Copies of this chain bind each other. A is one copy, B any other.
Amino acid sequence: MDEISERIRIKDIAKMSNVSVGTVDRVLHNRGGVSKENYERVKSIMDKLHYRPNMYASALASNKKYLFGCLLPIHKVGEYWTAVEDGIQEAIKAYSDFNISITINYYDPFKYSSFLISGNELLAQKPDGVMLTPSDPKMTEQFTTALRKQDIPYIFLDFNMPALNPLAFYGQNSVQSGYLAAKFLMLMAGKQTKEVAVFRQIKDGIIGSNQQEHREVGFRQYMKEHFSECKILSMDVHNRDFKEEHTLELFFKEHPNITNGITFNSKAYIIGEFLEKHQFTAFNLMGYDLLKRNVVCLKKGSISMIIAQKPEDQGYRGVSSLCDHLILKKTITPINYMPIDLLTAENIDFYMNFPR
């Protein structure tokens, strides 16, 4: 039998320190008005007893308000970033007793200048801490330099740029993720496969997502190591001249025998819905992230496998790390790789029971 020992209460500490309960309370909440001698005696008793001060009560006692700022790619409801925002809002609610609030600004991921403009708008609101999804490295550095000058801690979501020293990073290891994606695509494709398609989202020559770009690096690395004979056909789904539907029609006309492909962004449903409409049932398609339209395709069979990365958790942990750092003065783990979760029609429902 393993009984947890009795909880230590403030009054126990007061008794042992030979001070009043009010004094212990003042020490706990850093409210001042305690002699140095008493302060140190109380602190040392707390240490000896491994007393975990009730930070919850401590935050309640404080009147300080915290504004967190967030800089995310602009998106429509239901797109990938919605899930990150859901996690952020959930955390803001969960930590509401700490008097925190959030302001979210958006940038156009396909327009580099937009990142800095939105970043400056965010700075003007004087946030106490910031979460952001890095964009172009140079633009991102300009912004984090400005944050550093104002002593504002910042957290990277989705993609890491370690040289820019964020307080913490939450996101997938993108190269490893693409590497694993290749392994599973080729398991489905079979060893004799001669060509696979990589469907890309590009606008005006800009990929607009560091994750997308680096997953493809990992993918190509696996293919080089294990299937160097297999041809990789890249195609840009977003074409300046045509609609996606027409671009895909052209591609499949040109490559009538291709039956395996992958997209490294969250919009696999564009391909999946096309495959379904044209009844290309033999095609193995892999994609990323649990957007509703992706999940529908997965269940219908037009997407064979999805890799997920707990975006709600990324948003939630971003907020909780800022609270831990700014309010609870805890140490933060700097690099936090999210899981690379493999989902099929058979396990998707169970996975979605646990978004975080």
Interface residues of A (CB under 8 A from B): 1-4, 7, 56-57, 89, 92-93, 96-97, 99-104, 125, 172-173, 176, 179-180, 183, 187-188, 190-191, 310, 313, 336-342, 344, 346-347, 349-351, 353-354
Closest B-chain residue to A56, C-beta based? B56
In the bound assembly, the distance between CA atoms of A172 and B1 in angstroms comes to 28
Whether A180 pairs with B101 at a CB distance below 8 angstroms is no
Can you offer 28 A-B residue contacts whose CB atoms are under 8 A? A1-B104, A2-B89, A3-B103, A4-B102, A7-B97, A172-B350, A173-B350, A176-B347, A176-B350, A180-B344, A180-B347, A183-B344, A187-B187, A187-B188, A190-B190, A190-B191, A310-B354, A337-B349, A337-B350, A338-B353, A339-B347, A339-B350, A339-B354, A340-B347, A341-B342, A341-B347, A341-B351, A342-B347
In the bound assembly, the distance between CA atoms of A102 and B1 in angstroms comes to 7
Whether A101 pairs with B3 at a CB distance below 8 angstroms is yes
A295 shortest CB reach to chain B, Å: 15
Whether A180 pairs with B346 at a CB distance below 8 angstroms is yes
Whether B103 pairs with A179 at a CB distance below 8 angstroms is no
- Contact partner of A339 among B3, B104, B336, B353, CB < 8 A? B353
Closest B-chain residue to A337, C-beta based? B350
In the bound assembly, the distance between CA atoms of A18 and B97 in angstroms comes to 24
In the bound assembly, the distance between CA atoms of A2 and B349 in angstroms comes to 31
Task: Report which residue of A100, A313, A340 has the largest number of chain B beta carbons within 10 angstroms of its beta carbon.
Answer: A340
Whether A353 pairs with B340 at a CB distance below 8 angstroms is no
Given contacts A7-B96, A187-B187, A354-B339, contact A2 B347 (CB under 8 A): no
In the bound assembly, the distance between CA atoms of A339 and B125 in angstroms comes to 41
Whether A346 pairs with B340 at a CB distance below 8 angstroms is yes
Given A3-B103, A173-B350, A180-B346, list of 19 further CB < 8 A pairs?
A: A1-B125, A4-B92, A4-B96, A4-B100, A7-B96, A56-B56, A57-B57, A179-B346, A183-B346, A187-B188, A190-B191, A313-B354, A336-B353, A337-B353, A339-B351, A340-B346, A340-B351, A341-B347, A342-B347
- Contact partner of A104 among B2, B89, B103, CB < 8 A? B2
Closest B-chain residue to A335, C-beta based? B353
A264 shortest CB reach to chain B, Å: 16
Whether B4 pairs with A93 at a CB distance below 8 angstroms is yes
Contacting residues, chain B, for A89 (C-beta < 8 A) = 2
